[in-house]
Structure 1
Amino acid sequence: MKELKVLKIRVTSCITLVGISLMLAAVMSDHWAVLSPKLDDDTQSCEVAHFGLWRLCKKKIYMDDQETMIKGCGPLSLPGEHSCTYFKHFTSGENANIFEVTTQKEYSISAAAIAIIGVGFATMGTVCTLLSFKEKLDYLLKPAGLFFIFAGLCMIISAEVIRQSVHRMIDSKETVWIEYYYSWSFACACSAFVLLFICGIALVLISLPRMPRNPWETCMDAEPDM
């Protein structure tokens, strides 16, 4: 391959590596969204929840400062009692009767499965990209780009499923959560989608044959890239 083409592939691969890192950070963390209840005037403590694809964590925060109480429950950085419960995706579980756990479990099954499929696509894309550096294997760039595109789409679909689960819990009358915001894990998932999708398209374009430079030059007459 020409030096310029190799340079483009290397730069794109480095950006793709950042996207894959963000994807793994989002999949393994549990700060996709943070939920907080309504804080009464006489409340001395409140319980904030945050969750990811695998577990739901709750933190009981003691509200001693009056100014902090006016702003609402939280933030998560305040000291308090912290506990996490893993979603039992393939078993019913004794705690599944709690509404927020049940709701998030149902959605997290789909979100986690889609995210794992995305990780698989990213892995296959990485393997194809590495093999494309070998002589006469540059045709693997196109499937590598497609794999990265699919991985990015899986991450944004997973993020949308989580977003729907948050709205379902907030809108329900059976839950105490009334306020929410999306945290850094959600941002990692969205950023991974942008980087993987753009880099995937870039790899597909790089893998295409060079267009003729002159109107009378055909693709068959063009100089080969090898």
Structure 2
Amino acid sequence: MLEDKRTKVKVTFFVILVGISAMFTAVVTDHWAVLSPRVEQLNATCEAAHFGLWRLCKKTIFITAEESKGKGCGPISLPGDQNCSYFKHFTPGQDAEVFEVKTQKEYNISAAAIAIFSLAFMILGTLCILASFGKGRDYLLKPGGMFFVFAGLCTIISVEVMRQSVKRMIDSDETIWIEYYYSWSFACACSAFVLLFLSGIALLVISMPQMPRNPWETCMDAEPEPIE
């Protein structure tokens, strides 16, 4: 690999590592969205919730501010007792009725499965890049770039599935939630999509053969034809 190309690959790989870290953080944390029910009365408790791909956390918050009445419970940063449980469809026996009964659990399962595919593509792409630094293995940059493009696409699909899940849950008459917002885990996933997808495209561009600066270079580099 030429030194100039090697430097470009190293810079791109650093950006990819940042994207992988962001996606891994999004997958293992449970702050994709925060849900709030309506506050009915003061000097009482309300139960807000935040969730990720694997579990739901409910937090009991004591409300004393008068302006909070009739609005959503929270913010989630207020002190209170928190109880987290993995979704029932992932760990049978655990209590997660809010997601098991009142929302489409298929959405959550799909989002988690697609996120796992994204992680698998990241591992394959990383192996291709590391192997490409070997002598005469530049050809591995192209499949590596494709793997990271696929990883980025899987990430944004997982984000959209989760967004649709939250939207349908808020719109449902069977749920108590009236307010929601996306939190930092969701932002990590969106950032991972941008970094991985663009880095994958960059690797594909880097792996392309260098075009001559002008048509005469091709003619000058050609071997002379033998004179009969």
Corresponding residue of 1:166: 166
Task: State the 4+ residue runs in structure 1 displaced beyond 4 angstroms.
Answer: 67-71, 90-96, 219-222
Report if aligned partners of 1:34, 1:183 keep a CA contact under 8 Å in 2.
Answer: yes
- Larger mean CA deviation between 64-73 and 195-204 belongs to 64-73
CA distance in 2, matches of 1:13, 1:220: 35
Specify whether residues 221 and 196 from structure 1 end up closer, same or farther in structure 2 by C-alpha distance, changes over 3 A only: farther
User: What whole-Å deviation, never above 9, does each CA across 1:174-195 have from its counterpart, x for those lacking one?
Assistant: 0000100000000000000000
Which residue number in structure 2 is paired with residue 152 of structure 1? 152
Alpha-carbon spacing, 1:99–1:20, altered in 2? closer, same or farther (3 Å) = same
Decide which structure has the larger Cα Rg and report it.
Answer: 2
Q: Distance in 1 between matches of 2:73 and 2:126?
A: 43
RMSD over aligned CA atoms reads: 2.2
Residues in 2 aligned to 1:170 and 1:24: alpha-carbon distance in whole angstroms: 27
**Separation in 2 of the partners of 1:66 and 1:73?**
12
Rounded to whole Å, the distance in 2 between the matches of 1:159 and 1:220 is: 52
Q: Does structure 1 retain, via aligned residues, the 8 Å contact 2:22–2:192?
A: yes
Deviation at 1:93, TM superposition (A): 4.7
Distance in 2 separating the partners of 1:35 and 1:28: 19
**Residue-by-residue CA offset, 1:60-92 (whole Å, 9 max, x unaligned):** 101123355576411111111111110133576
Aligned-residue identity in percent: 66
- 2:17 partner amino acid: L
Whether the 8 Å CA contact 2:34–2:182 is kept in 1: the answer is: yes
Contact 2:39 2:71 in 1 (8 A): no
Residues 39 and 68 of structure 2 are in contact (CA less than 8 Å); yes or no, is this contact kept in structure 1?
Answer: no
Cα distance change of structure 1 residues 37 and 221 upon mapping to structure 2, 3 Å threshold? farther
SS in 2 for 1:58: strand
1:149 shift after superposition: 0.5
Contact 1:156 1:193 (C-alpha < 8 Å) held by counterparts? yes
* 1:168 CA displacement: 1.0
Structure 1 partner of 2:88: 88
Could you tell me which runs of 5 or more consecutive residues in structure 2 were left unpaired when the two chains were aligned.
223-228
Aligned residue number for residue 105 of structure 2: 105
Q: Distance in 2 between matches of 1:105 and 1:83?
A: 20
Partners of 2:88 and 2:95 within 8 A in 1: no
1: CA distance, partners of 2:187 / 2:215: 46
Counting only pairs closer than 5 Å after superposition, residues 64-143 of structure 1 correspond to structure 2 as 64-67=64-67, 72-89=72-89, 93=93, 95=95, 98-102=97-101, 103=103, 105-143=105-143
